[in-house]
Structure 1
């Protein structure tokens, strides 16, 4: 599989891959945000986590500040991963990116993801007016601390800020420029599960239902206790929800490949 530096690959337990889960981190985030997931998923599921350029082992690469370019690049990498069913999970910024990649795979390669899980972000055409990339360093750090999440502790180390803030600002610029009109966003054929925290002030729970406008296969909403980064505090509950879907894929795929007895 040609994954290059874009994907962090966690092999399926048992060695045989019958389905894949592709995870898309939040703004400023890294593949480490999903490091605990592979061990919680069913046997037969390979986990692929997108690692955006400009951070950690990709720090020497320029950040991408345009959603079209980011989605095109990720789609090109995932073309070789469509030999088994795919499910997507995107958190915050990753939600919009996961949708854009899903619609490209469907439009250009005839691959419909089995389910699109989106987290802590409303549908792209209902997001307006974010200008966080223009905040001062001090205010940006304060806003990130307020969100909590897997990266919150790093802001307590001033010597790390020159490494952390540039990719964060790049991601926030990408989000600020990504303001598609409804007419520009086709409905995908994949069903959507939109999940969020009940105290997330950045994405009111009522907004999650708006994802239904972007799918022909229906959408459901799942609410969990917590704020914007409820994934961290309720990882077991979220991975259990995702695993139930993946287990269906594994069982179906197993029935198909086993053949008659």
Structure 2
């Protein structure tokens, strides 16, 4: 198998192939998250938009692969995986850690002289230029579990199950290490439109920090503040999917509404 095809197969999950879709949407999960988080979104947007969910190593069908505790290294590999997908307009959506990765992948597309994403969707993450002196105490597993409980990002039954915790903790810890060590490179800007989504009571993102994404592109930016915390997009799934469809599909080409929703099986992310 050619290297590009192998990279695509390793990183991308296509739950609802849509060969006649007007656009593709690459979705990048939060810390500790997996491609299955976006299965309902894929189902809802098909066949007008083909959703390609990124599967990070260290979880689900890639659970035996080593985790990658580095945003730049992950972005390099994700970019290599999606690079061949240039036959149709391509957009990027990322939640929390996924927003940072989506931004870095978009920069790599631009640097390589490829067509920029038709739109970047950032969700549940402050703009890269908004640095916080944020010392999240996650040195021990107990501290990390307390952080997960605080963000309400992981099913309480999972956090109470020692065997499940043993399975998911390495991926979550690796992702936290990646995000907390990420260094934004000042002066670099995208040239694509950016749609910013955030919850009005997210403890990790203020509305001003979300709005600051406008400083990271020369294109237009629109901000949407929805009710909820860090995982507002689960409870507000219908509105989120409507926003995606409104910006990716011409009104006359939109598919009839299908089953909607973001899966509630999730892990919290910084």
Q: Tell me, yes or no, whether TM beats 0.5.
A: yes
Question: Contact between 1:128 and 1:179, CA under 8 Å: does it hold in 2?
Answer: no
How far apart in 1 are the matches of 2:59 and 2:105?
A: 21
Residue 78 of structure 2 aligns with which residue? 74
Match of 2:204 in 1: 202
1-side partners of 2:22 and 2:208: how far apart? Answer: 35
Gaps of 5+ in 1: 253-261
Could you tell me which residue of structure 1 aligns to residue 258 of structure 2?
none
Instruction: Quote how far apart the aligned CAs of 1:11 are.
Output: 3.0
Match of 1:139 in 2: 143
Cα distance in 2 between the residues matched to 1:85 and 1:19: 5
Secondary structure, counterpart of 2:64 in structure 1 = coil
Cα distance change, pair 153–94 in 1 and its aligned pair in 2 (3 A): farther
CA RMSD, Structure 1 to Structure 2 (Å): 2.0
CA distance in 2, matches of 1:150, 1:140: 11
Q: How many residues were matched structurally?
A: 249
Aligned partner (choices 108, 111, 117) of residue 113 of structure 1: 117
Secondary structure, aligned partner of 2:9: coil
TM-score (norm 2): 0.86
Residue from 221, 243, 246 that aligns with 1:244: 246
Q: How far did 1:86 drift?
A: 0.7
> For 1:125 and 1:152, how far apart are their aligned partners in 2?
33
- TM-score, structure 1 length as denominator? 0.89
Q: What is aligned with 1:63?
A: 67
The equivalent residue for 1:100 is 104
Alpha carbons of structure 1 residues 151 and 124: separation in structure 2 relative to 1, 3 Å: farther
Q: Could you tell me which residue of structure 1 aligns to residue 170 of structure 2?
A: 166
TM-aligned CA deviation for residue 123 of structure 1:
1.1
Greater helix share, structure number: 1
1:217 maps to what in 2?
219
TM-superposed deviation, 1:106 = 1.5
Cα deviation 1:105-139 (Å, max 9, x = unaligned) = 12104221111010111111213344447432112
* Cα distance in 2 between the residues matched to 1:51 and 1:129: 30
Larger relative contact order (C-alpha < 8 A, sep ≥ 6)? Answer: 2
Q: Distance between the aligned counterparts of 1:25 and 1:73, measured in 2? A: 15
SS of residue in 1 equivalent to 2:195: strand
Query: Which residue of structure 1 lines up, in the alignment, with residue 16 of structure 2?
Result: 11
Deviations 1:217-250 (A, max 9, x none): 0211101000000111111110111111111399
| Deviation string, structure 1 residues 184-214 (Cα, Å, up to 9, x no partner) | xx11111111110011011011211110111
SS for the counterpart of 1:10 is coil
Q: Residue 26 of structure 1 is aligned with which of 30, 35, 55?
A: 30
